[in-house]
Amino acid sequence: MKLPAISRDPTGHLERWLSMAGGLLGIALIYWTSALLAPASATVLVVASMGASAVLVFGVPHGPLSQPWPVLGGHVLSGLIGVTVAQQVHPVALAAPLAVGLAILVMHYTRSLHPPGGATALTAVLSSSAATPIGYAFVLTPVLLNAVVIVTVGTLFNFPFAWRRYPAVLAARTEPKDTPADAEVEGLAEDDLLFALRQMGSFIDASEHDLLRIYTLATRHADRDTLSPADIQPGRCYSNGRFGADWSVRCVVDAADKPANDLVIYRGVAGAERRCTGTMSRAELARWARYEVQRDETTWRPVHRDDNSAGQPQSR
């Protein structure tokens, strides 16, 4: 059974255990410093808020929501909003949702969106409704103190592991020279990704740099079985590998034997070009084709040249 995309997690076991170890160390230090320096009445609630930050800093250290400014700015700004709303708005049933909503808005505009910041704003309101109201000192200790600790631990703990160094700028410096960053890759530049993100209009927890790397690695993987003109032979079938309305399968009916005349005659047997015929050079057909395919009952399966793995079937 094919799982939905959201259910597929390629994260390795080492990465998962490192995330656990980092979170354990980060929260242990936060709890210790909070118990030592923060008011006893605020320690437990803020440590709980920082637990969510630990998931981001150690679970997804390269995500935009996990970077130092969102962690520090998100918590501090949300704490300021929470204390202010708690002092100015009553009852709590109105103050609590207002504080969280305003915190989200401010974090968006200050580019410091950090989900645990909403918990910090809510903590300020709920704590102020207790017997002892919370003042703005709450923002410094324990909120800012805890945020500084989690960022510091995240930086030091992740540093020995080049693939997950934190902040993300440190990881970018360790990439191989052939890994593109801002340069144009295969006709796609970072500006193109920025345009696409603006067109979508919603926040995506991935940086333009990471998206460009994903695109590049995927393109390299897709090109590993690139066909050459010599691979185009009579009696074989080829697909462009495109899912959707443009997917097609072409079978070579005949091909010239002389190098000077490399034209081939093909017939479309499936997809958008079914029952169509055409003529083109071997090189053109090789550029069009993604891989060779063969008929398997009601589907067409890729024929891999380097291994025996079977690709995903494509329906007729």
Average pLDDT, consecutive stretches of 10 residues, N- to C-terminus, the chain (316 residues): 52 91 94 77 69 95 93 97 93 95 97 95 85 80 93 96 89 56 53 72 66 69 72 91 85 76 88 91 89 86 62 43
Which helix (H) or strand (E) segment holds residue 32: the answer is helix 13-37
Read out DSSP for 107-138? Answer: HHHTT---THHHHHHHHHHHHHTSSS---THH
| The pLDDT of residue 173 | 60
The token pair at 37 is 């320096």
Q: What are phi and psi of 277, to 5 degrees?
A: -125, 160
| The pLDDT of residue 315 | 43
Cα torsion at 175, 176, 179, 181 (round to 10°)? 40
CA distances from 109 to 112, 143, 237 (A): 8, 21, 54
The token pair at 175 is 């990439």
| Chain centroid, CA 89 distance in Å | 38
HSE toward the beta carbon, residue 11, CA cutoff 13 A? 13
| The pLDDT of residue 82 | 95
- Quickly list H helices, 116-207: 116-128, 137-138, 145-158, 168-172, 190-200
